[in-house]
């Protein structure tokens, strides 16, 4: 369970060994970590439609590896999350008695997908190989077949209304996705026009029935933005700015960095302090997070929230405020470039809507919008919803790359990464130890996207093997035991050791994940 893989000059980690292998092939052909990340993600878009795909969104952090012999480098952030269509009408949803965005089977919860724009922007800035080469493994698998994974087989029936999925019944069965193959070929030959103005784009306009207009698909959705950063455990930890919830990870890390942690994560006080940091960071997320939010991780705010932590008892957070599924992958190349990329449908297969010509299922990231009139994250034309996607990247004090890390997990993503990063940086654990160790999460028994609806009612859900239950109960936490791997994310991590050797781990919870290197 504590398997750390080592490599000398390049590594890729993902939830699927077929995808990781495609990424490593790009490195073997002289491609960059960006090429490897795109190739890996493209294969996942074929083999793991229950986690991600061309109908979803994408965020990425990139460390460029420096240049001219410098160890330091720069970190950039890519926001390729889509915007609601021009037909977005919150009043109509409220008139239909909706108080929250529809979770399933409603096109209004599917903003224009941004993943393909993300691939193209990442490739344009950091790619070395032709896009046709990068997408070739995914095209081959989509056109000629891939063995259905044990993760996809039990749930493929959710999209049985499309012929690609109707016959899927067992792991190992050969599955083809001809529409996805055509779409990938169109992207390889014609760029974004082949996707947004091609077969998929035309089908999306028809399926939207007024939710989108052609101009919505003509405007690129990917933006290079300024990443957020916090100093913790002697390192700089980077994540995405809003509309991502990345600030929650950084805020909670900043809080924890100033607390007196016990020497081992096995102690219940460790789980208590990290859990309280997560609750204090996130209790007001619903009122704070929107695409234009700013100044969320200042030193003053970190100190203010850290002062709320009580090491002897669980805090009641009500009144403190004045007022999926997903897949993660990472790659590092021999030149020191690192890519931390996360791509998602939101919840499982997303909206359960499929563009019928291509068989591409659509995300439901629009569930992050508010239907409260006047809320800064209210559903409306051209707006980006609040996102759970939280990639992370860690640099040393000299600016050199230390780690790329991330996870799936809905609202729990910052909580999972808080534990993994603290184990890695504070306690010196190997990637395999930090990734495979039992976790806690703030649970509600709901959708996985409703943690902050009532933060005082959350339960500390503990994975099988965690020894914190009695101690947390004594500190006032309601606790519940959960089977190992049930809803605790698929985290992956590549760590650059001081001598340049790469140490990586794919989450054993993914069952078919792979960290492979060269």
239 shares a domain with 216: no
Nearest to 279, CA basis, from 108, 88, 441: 441
pLDDT of residue 70: 47
- Render pLDDT for 351-362 as a digit per residue (tens, 0 to 9): 999 999 999 999
- Answer whether residue 500 is part of any domain: yes
Domain boundary among 309, 334, 368: 368
**Are the CB atoms for 191 and 119 separated by under 8 Å?**
no
- Answer whether residue 379 is part of any domain: no
> Which of these ranges, 187-201, 236-250, 313-327, 396-410, has the smallest mean pLDDT?
313-327
410 shares a domain with 465: yes
- Answer whether residue 332 is part of any domain: no
Average pLDDT, the chain: 95
181 shares a domain with 251: no
196 shares a domain with 88: yes
507 shares a domain with 493: yes
Q: What mean pLDDT comes out for the span 114-142?
A: 98
- Answer whether residue 4 is part of any domain: no
310 shares a domain with 412: yes
- The parent domain of residue 440 ranges over 225-325+389-517
Q: What is the CATH number of the domain that holds 318?
A: 3.60.20.40
- Answer whether residue 395 is part of any domain: yes
- Answer whether residue 50 is part of any domain: yes
User: d(Cα 393, Cα 406) in Å, to the nearest integer?
Assistant: 8
Write out the two tokens for 41: 């993600």
Whether residue 326 lies in the annotated active site: yes
Cβ atoms within 10 Å, residue 356: 14
169 shares a domain with 26: yes
300 shares a domain with 356: no
27 shares a domain with 138: yes
- Answer whether residue 342 is part of any domain: no
pLDDT of residue 66: 85
* Dihedral, CA of residue 113, residue 117, residue 118 and residue 121, to nearest 10: -170
| pTM recorded for the entire structure | 0.96
- Render pLDDT for 187-205 as a digit per residue (tens, 0 to 9): 999 999 999 999 999 999 9
Domain boundary among 310, 338, 368: 368
Confidence grade of residue 69 (pLDDT, cut at 50, 70, 90): very low
Q: Tell which wins on pLDDT, 371 or 348.
A: 371
- Render pLDDT for 232-252 as a digit per residue (tens, 0 to 9): 999 999 999 999 999 999 999
pLDDT of residue 319: 59
**Are the CB atoms for 254 and 236 separated by under 8 Å?**
no
Of the residues 326, 390, 395, 444, only one is catalytic, namely: 326
- Answer whether residue 374 is part of any domain: no
Give me the percent of the chain exceeding a pLDDT of 70.
97
Q: What mean pLDDT comes out for the span 442-454?
A: 87
300 shares a domain with 167: no
Three-state DSSP class for residue 315: coil
- Domains held by the chain: number: 2
Domain boundary among 315, 335, 368: 368
60 shares a domain with 129: yes
Whether the predicted pLDDT of 512 surpasses 50: yes
pLDDT of residue 323: 35
297 shares a domain with 169: no
């Amino acid at each position: 369970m504590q398997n750390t893989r080592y490599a000398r000059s390049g590594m890729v980690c993902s939830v699927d060994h077929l995808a990781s292998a495609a990424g490593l092939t790009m490195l073997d052909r002289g491609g960059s970590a960006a090429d490897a990340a795109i190739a890996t993600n493209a294969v996942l878009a074929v083999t793991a439609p229950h986690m991600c795909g061309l109908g979803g969104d994408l965020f990425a952090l990139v460390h460029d590896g420096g240049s001219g012999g410098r160890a330091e480098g720069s970190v950039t952030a890519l926001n390729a999350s889509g915007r609601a269509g021009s037909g977005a009408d919150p009043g109509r949803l409220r008139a239909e008695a909706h108080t929250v965005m529809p979770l399933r089977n409603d096109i209004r919860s599917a903003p224009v997908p941004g993943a393909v724009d993300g691939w193209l922007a990442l490739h344009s800035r950091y790619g070395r190989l032709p896009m046709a080469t990068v997408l070739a493994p995914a095209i081959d698998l989509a056109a000629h077949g891939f063995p259905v994974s044990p993760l996809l087989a039990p749930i493929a029936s959710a999209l049985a209304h499309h012929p690609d999925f109707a016959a899927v019944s067992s792991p190992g069965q050969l599955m083809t996705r001809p529409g996805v193959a055509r779409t990938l070929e169109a992207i390889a030959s014609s760029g974004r026009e082949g996707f947004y103005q091609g077969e998929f784009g035309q089908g999306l306009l028809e399926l939207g029935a007024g939710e989108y207009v052609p101009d919505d698909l003509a405007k690129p959705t990917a933006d290079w933005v300024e990443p957020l950063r916090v100093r913790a455990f002697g390192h700089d930890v980077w994540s995405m700015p809003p509309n991502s919830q990345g600030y929650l990870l950084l805020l909670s890390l900043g809080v924890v960095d100033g607390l007196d942690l016990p020497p081992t994560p096995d102690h219940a006080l460790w789980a208590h302090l990290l859990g309280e940091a997560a609750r204090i960071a996130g209790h007001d997320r619903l009122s704070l997070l929107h695409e234009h939010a700013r100044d969320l991780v200042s030193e003053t705010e970190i100190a203010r929230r850290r002062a709320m932590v009580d090491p002897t008892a669980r805090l009641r957070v009500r009144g403190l405020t004045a007022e999926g599924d997903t897949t993660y992958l990472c790659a590092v190349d021999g030149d020191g470039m690192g890519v931390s990329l996360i791509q998602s449908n939101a919840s499982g297969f997303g909206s359960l809507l499929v563009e019928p010509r291509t068989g591409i299922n659509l995300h439901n990231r629009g569930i992050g919008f508010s239907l409260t009139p006047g809320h800064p994250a209210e559903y409306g034309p051209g707006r980006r919803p609040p996102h759970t996607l939280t990639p992370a990247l860690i640099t040393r004090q000299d600016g050199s790359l230390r780690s790329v890390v991330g996870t799936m997990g809905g609202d729990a993503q910052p909580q999972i990464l808080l534990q993994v990063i603290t184990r890695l940086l504070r306690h010196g654990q190997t990637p395999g130890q930090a990734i495979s160790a039992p976790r806690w999460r703030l649970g509600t028994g709901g959708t996985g996207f409703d943690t902050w609806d009532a933060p005082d009612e959350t339960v500390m859900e503990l994975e099988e093997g965690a020894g914190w239950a009695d101690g947390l109960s004594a500190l006032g936490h309601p606790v519940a035991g959960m089977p190992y791997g049930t809803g605790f994310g698929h985290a992956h991590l590549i760590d650059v050791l001081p001598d340049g050797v790469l140490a990586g781990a794919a989450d054993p919870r993914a069952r078919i994940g792979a960290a492979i290197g060269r």
